[in-house]
Amino acid sequence: MKQVSADALRGWILDRHELAILDAREEGEFGASHLFWAVNVPLSRAELLLPGLLPNPRTRIVCVDDGTGLAKRLASLVEKMGGTDVSVLEGGTKAWAEAGHVLFSGVNVPSKAFGEWVEHHYGTESVDAPELDAWIRSGRRMVVLDSRPMEEFRVMSIPTGIDVPGGELVYRIGDLAPDPETLVVVNCAGRTRSILGAESLRRARIPNKVVALRNGTMGWELAGLVPARGETATYAPGRPASADIALARAEAFAREAGVRPIESAALAGFAADDARTLHVLDVRAPEEFAAAHAPGTRNAPGGQLVQATDRWIAVRGARIVLVDDDGVRAAMTAAWLRLMGNREVYTIRMADLPPLPRLHTPVLPLVDAVAPAAIAPGTPVLDLSRSLAYRAGHAPGALWGIRTRLGRLREKLAGAGEVVVTSEDGRLAALAATEVAVISGARVRVMEGGMAAWRAAGLAVDADRTNPPDEACADVYLRPYDRNSGVEAAMKDYLSWEIDLVREVERDGTVRFGA
């Protein structure tokens, strides 16, 4: 296995050629300390994540861990999937730090740092929670727009808030606030999506005054204010009446940022270029993508793509083409990605897409499957879902585990004649079936359709947010709201961490935001 030193890897980061740095540890371990440009690809889920993150596995790839050997195992997997230029960081994150380079905590760090840069660079205006509360109570003419996905909005929101995910803001604002005297307040849970959402509207030069809610719903709670829960207010579906105005605004911002539309023939050429990585991402809302989309595209809702870019893109220097139906959401998202430091970002309409190669999908082994309702009573069930999903609902009596740590369950599975393995949708369970058989010595069957099918069948679930306990949730980087204790302290720490990213990025020296 090829190895690369910390100093050599830093040189690769700066040389502007394509590079993917993949951290093989679980998300909780990754979130504690990692390289700025590293993308988390836990070995336990790597087969599911790599096809989307690495559409061209022949690009230059470096695998990283903290000296536990996971990086070599991930590198071997990447090579089996077609990787031809794969290395391992010699000495892992410890060697990186010993060489004098900066390590970062948290997840989605490049996007979070970019949000802080945006606030400093553009002077994004903000309001604190007590003042916003006073405005709401006074009946001031305004709209409060929550820039998170609906599943987050429902958990907690600002009273009077309307859910408008960040990628939709410029597209929908003309219908939501047609009166230029209406104040627009944008919030999220913390800072990044509040800032980027508010600044999107400011960069689009809408006539309304726009401010971000400082520190989002966390700031609201820390101020002693009570959030709303279970709300579902959102924008009207379909193309807004003001879409033409939104398009002119979005295209102007995209031009300023250096974004170029791409013609069908040029995109076909990119798709045929084996020497480069190409991501073609549809930035519309998930329900629109599900209703109809072009083959060869992946869904990456615009606001989420900007605030968590490493969920979809692992390769620095890749070509990125953003797709939507009428141009607004693609243009706004592309502008931000360009300012984030991605040099080649393009937009295209769905109607103009050329035929694209089929997306790579994980190859799942043949398994002995069993329908949820056909599982015999008393059969041990092992759930490999993410810990937060397990907490939210699992088959009664099911064990929970992490795929790469199955040995810890050996005693609990000992003596079982049969074990049923499940996960969120069953795919991870299928990948782990043989490994569970080796650990348990039992016949292993996979729950058909995973826990999604279990719920669809109307079967009972147990929910307990304390199981597994916080300290056992190595597979996730717990947000303050996910914790069972110390939530207020965690909120304060999180907000301080976001604010401090600007200073840490300066220390790192490999980051350059702006066109």
pLDDT single digits (tens) 240-264: 999 999 999 999 999 999 999 999 9
Please state, as a whole number, how many other Cβ atoms lie within 10 Å of the Cβ of residue 451. 27
Domain 2-105, CATH among 3.40.50.2020, 3.40.250.10, 3.40.50.2300, 2.60.40.10: 3.40.250.10
Average pLDDT over all residues of the chain: 97
Query: What mean pLDDT comes out for the span 340-346?
Result: 97
Q: In this model, does residue 315 exceed pLDDT 90? A: yes
Query: What mean pLDDT comes out for the span 266-285?
Result: 97
Query: What mean pLDDT comes out for the span 286-292?
Result: 97
CA atoms within 13 A on the CB side of 476: 20
Q: In this model, does residue 478 exceed pLDDT 80? A: yes
114/111 Cα distance (integer angstroms) = 5
- pLDDT value, residue 299: 98
Query: What mean pLDDT comes out for the span 344-371?
Result: 96
Q: In this model, does residue 1 exceed pLDDT 90? A: no
- pLDDT value, residue 485: 96
- pLDDT value, residue 388: 98
Query: What mean pLDDT comes out for the span 379-393?
Result: 98
For residues 326 and 349, is the Cβ–Cβ distance under 8 A?
A: yes
Q: In this model, does residue 515 exceed pLDDT 80? A: no
pLDDT band of 353, cuts 50, 70, 90: very high
Domain at 369-472: CATH code: 3.40.250.10
Which residues have C-beta within 8 Å of that of residue 330, sequence separation ≥ 6?
A: 283, 302, 322, 323, 324, 347, 348
Domain coordinates in residue numbering, the chain: 2-105, 114-236, 249-352, 369-472
pLDDT band of 108, cuts 50, 70, 90: very high
Query: What mean pLDDT comes out for the span 327-336?
Result: 98
CA atoms within 13 A on the CB side of 335: 23
For residues 202 and 210, is the Cβ–Cβ distance under 8 A?
A: yes
Domain at 249-352: CATH code: 3.40.250.10
pLDDT band of 449, cuts 50, 70, 90: very high
| 114-236 placed in CATH 3.40.250.10 | yes
- pLDDT value, residue 31: 98
For residues 413 and 443, is the Cβ–Cβ distance under 8 A?
A: no
Q: In this model, does residue 502 exceed pLDDT 80? A: yes
pLDDT band of 157, cuts 50, 70, 90: very high
For residues 135 and 142, is the Cβ–Cβ distance under 8 A?
A: yes
How is residue 311 annotated by DSSP?
G
Query: What mean pLDDT comes out for the span 312-330?
Result: 97
pLDDT band of 172, cuts 50, 70, 90: very high
For residues 220 and 154, is the Cβ–Cβ distance under 8 A?
A: no
Query: What mean pLDDT comes out for the span 83-108?
Result: 98
223/301 Cα distance (integer angstroms) = 31
- pLDDT value, residue 9: 98
- pLDDT value, residue 16: 87
Query: What mean pLDDT comes out for the span 18-36?
Result: 98
- pLDDT value, residue 136: 98
Kindly list the distances between the CA atom of residue 155 and the CA atoms of 45, 216, 218, 424, in Å, as whole numbers in the listed order: 27, 14, 13, 20
Which residue, chain included where needed, has tokens 């615009």?
302
Q: Which of 177-186, 279-288, 358-367 has the lowest mean pLDDT?
A: 358-367
Domains 114-236 and 369-472 alike in fold: yes
